[in-house]
C-alpha cells in the first residue's frame, strides 16, 4: 500500500502550519492533563470532589491551581484551533475566516482570563 497524503496527519490547505502544530502539541499535553483531571475527579478518594469544601481544600495545594490553569490554556487552545480546522473544511470565504479568527482570539483570551479568575477565587476561599 502506498502512503498517500490522507494517511498521515498534515495541515489542511490554508491552515497555518504553526497553528496546526500547536493543535498537535496541545493535543498531546491534553492526553496527560485530561488523564490526571479524570483520575482526580473520579478515582482520587472514595467520593471524588463532590462538595464545595472538597474543591476548596483540593486547590490549597499550589500544584493544583498551576496544573488546572495549564490544563485550561491547553484545552481552550486545542478546542479553538480544532474548531478553526473544522471550519476550514467548509471552505469559508477570506472575509469570514478573518472575522472568525478575531472571534476565536477574543473568545480564547476571555475564557482563559475567566478561568484564572475563577481559580484564584477558589484558592482565596481556603
Partner 1 sequence: MDIRHNRPSPTKFWNWFNPVGRQTGGWAFILHRITALGLTFYLYLHLAVLGQLAKGPEGYDGFLALVRNPIAIAGELLVVAAGILHGLNGIRIILTTFGLSVTRQKQLFYVLMVIALVVILIFGSRMFTA
The DSSP string of 56-97 is HHHTTSTHHHHHHHHHHHHHHHHHHHHHHHHHHTT---HHHH
Report the helix count and the strand count for the chain, using DSSP H and E.
4, 0
Q: Is 6 in the site for partner 1 (CB under 8 A)?
A: yes
Least Å distance, CB 102 to partner 1, is 18
Least Å distance, CB 63 to partner 1, is 19
Footprint of partner 1 (CB under 8 A):
1, 3-10, 12-13, 24, 27-28, 30-31, 34-35, 38, 42-43, 46-48, 50-53, 55, 72, 75-76, 79, 82-83, 86, 88-92, 111, 114-115, 118, 121-122, 125
Amino acid at each position: 500500500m502506498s502512503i498517500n497524503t490522507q494517511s498521515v496527519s498534515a495541515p489542511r490547505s490554508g491552515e497555518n502550519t504553526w497553528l496546526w502544530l500547536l493543535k498537535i502539541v496541545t493535543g498531546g499535553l491534553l492526553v496527560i492533563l485530561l488523564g490526571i483531571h479524570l483520575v482526580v475527579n473520579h478515582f482520587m478518594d472514595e467520593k471524588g470532589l463532590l462538595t464545595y469544601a472538597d474543591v476548596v481544600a483540593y486547590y490549597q495545594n499550589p500544584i493544583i491551581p498551576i496544573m488546572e490553569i495549564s490544563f485550561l490554556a491547553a484545552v481552550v487552545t486545542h478546542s479553538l484551533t480544532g474548531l478553526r480546522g473544522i471550519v476550514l473544511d467548509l471552505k469559508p470565504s477570506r472575509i469570514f475566516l478573518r472575522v472568525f479568527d478575531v472571534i476565536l482570539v477574543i473568545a480564547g483570551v476571555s475564557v482563559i482570563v475567566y478561568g484564572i479568575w475563577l481559580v484564584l477565587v477558589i484558592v482565596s476561599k481556603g
